[in-house]
């Protein structure tokens, strides 16, 4: 969903900007308001879905999955790396071994910004072995990728340093993200000012859940969805179950978004979000039916825009 620019400015906290854009007179007080970074650009849903189609094709061509240690995972990573290299990122492929198989993390640094204040956005790129993992977690991977590409298209120059990451072997125990955190040089942990995690952000019967680990990051996301008029709930089901956990254990402020897995949507949730009460948020969680048909476009669109909003807002 693309907000009008003025509404997006409000979502980003720029009431004065909103008034200007709406052609209204801006009160004197507002004109003395601190300047704010430009609002994040709209993340094109078509771009995000094109990445999901590529990940689906990769899974189909590689035994039906993109799991750790299988050819479909490395082919997924190679697809993303090529896009990021072409967009001007400095990419690093970090190798590790888990369950007797070679795994890989993909790290993409956007040149510039304060290296002592690093804002990270990440998602796991691997699927389970039983399916292509388009919602879990192609959705998060594609939303983060398209946000990184939007940074490049905008030639965005934030004060803080931007780093994007796609983790391997999350499904067998957060292995890739733990490997990354454990190998951070001394002092580098405290240089990460925020780690934002996106794991399942396009569930077909979606809820809108916000991680409540760090109040400032939580507020950034809640303000964004508030600007859309979309109510949110605190994500309680996934504590320690995705790649933000190793960062949180290392003392890094973390946050993120989630649209739900195998738990059933309640009647109260269906009343505020739509969808089907009594049905799982994602009936294809960890199943072969987690394909490109297993995505709700509105949820994917809103969450992709929320990723960009948080990246812009937290890195200014
Ligand atoms: N996406 C799941 C991990 C996960 C994250 N939040 C929740 C909540 C409830 C169940 C699972 C999860 C995965 O990668 O399996
Ligand atoms: Zn999973
Ligand atoms: Zn996942």
CATH number of the domain encompassing residue 54: 3.40.630.10
Domains in the chain, number: 2
Convert the pLDDT of each residue in 155-212 to its tens digit.
999 999 999 999 999 999 999 999 999 999 989 999 999 999 999 999 999 999 999 9
Task: State in Å: Cα 237 to ligand 1 middle.
Answer: 8
Residue 59 and residue 192 in one domain? yes
Residue 28 and residue 155 in one domain? no
Task: State in Å: Cα 141 to ligand 3 middle.
Answer: 10
Whether the predicted pLDDT of 20 surpasses 90:
no
Active-site annotation holds for 170: yes
Ligand located closest to 132 CA: 2
Residue 73 and residue 160 in one domain? yes
Residue 68 and residue 176 in one domain? yes
pTM score? 0.90
Residue 19 and residue 153 in one domain? no
Q: Give the DSSP letter of residue 211.
A: -
Task: State in Å: Cα 200 to ligand 3 middle.
Answer: 6
pLDDT at 215: 97
- In 18-172, which ranges are E strands? 90-98, 101-110, 114-124, 160-167
Residue 6 and residue 150 in one domain? no
Q: Give CA–CA dist 65/71, Å, rounded.
A: 9
Q: Which residue has the higher pLDDT, 306 or 239?
A: 306
The ligand 1 site (C-beta within 6 Å) comprises 136-137, 170-171, 199-200, 237-238, 241-242, 258, 261
Residue 132 and residue 214 in one domain? yes
Residue 29 and residue 86 in one domain? no
Which whole number is the average pLDDT over 251-260?
98
Domain span including residue 16: 1-33
Residue 59 and residue 28 in one domain? no
Nearest CA to ligand 1 atom 11: 238
Identify the band that residue 239 occupies on the pLDDT scale cut at 50, 70 and 90: confident
pLDDT at 1: 34
Residue 5 and residue 57 in one domain? no
Residue 52 and residue 23 in one domain? no
Tell me the three state secondary structure of residue 100: coil
Q: Evaluate the CA torsion angle 130, 289, 256, 75 in order and state its sign.
A: positive
């Amino acid at each position: 969903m693309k907000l009008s620019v003025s509404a997006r400015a409000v979502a980003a906290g720029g009431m004065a900007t909103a008034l200007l854009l709406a052609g209204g007179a801006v009160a004197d007080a507002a004109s003395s308001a601190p300047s704010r970074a430009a609002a994040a650009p709209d993340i094109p849903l078509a771009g995000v879905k094109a990445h999901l189609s590529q990940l689906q094709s990769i899974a189909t061509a590689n035994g039906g999955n993109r799991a750790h240690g299988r050819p479909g995972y490395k082919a997924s990573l190679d697809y993303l790396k090529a896009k990021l290299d072409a967009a001007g990122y400095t990419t690093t492929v970090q190798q590790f071994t888990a369950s007797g198989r070679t795994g890989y993390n993909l790290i993409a640094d956007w040149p510039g910004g304060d290296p002592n204040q690093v804002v990270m956005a990440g998602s796991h790129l691997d699927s389970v072995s039983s399916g292509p993992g388009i919602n879990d977690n192609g959705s998060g991977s594609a939303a983060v990728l398209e946000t990184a590409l939007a940074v490049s298209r905008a030639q965005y120059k934030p004060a803080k340093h931007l780093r994007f990451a796609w983790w391997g072997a999350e499904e067998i125990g957060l292995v890739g993200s733990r490997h990354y955190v454990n190998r951070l040089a001394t002092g580098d942990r405290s240089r990460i000012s925020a780690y934002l995690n996106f794991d399942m952000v396009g569930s077909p019967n979606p809820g809108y859940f916000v991680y409540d680990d760090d109040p400032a990051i939580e507020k950034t996301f809640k303000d964004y969805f508030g600007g859309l008029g979309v109510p949110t709930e605190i994500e309680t089901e996934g504590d320690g179950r995705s790649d933000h956990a190793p960062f949180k254990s290392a003392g890094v402020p973390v946050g993120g978004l989630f649209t739900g897995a195998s738990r059933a949507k309640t009647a109260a949730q269906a009343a505020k979000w739509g969808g089907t009460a009594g049905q799982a948020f994602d009936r294809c969680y960890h199943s072969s039916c987690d394909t490109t048909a297993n995505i709700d476009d509105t949820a994917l669109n809103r969450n992709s825009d929320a990723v960009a909003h948080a990246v812009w807002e937290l890195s200014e």
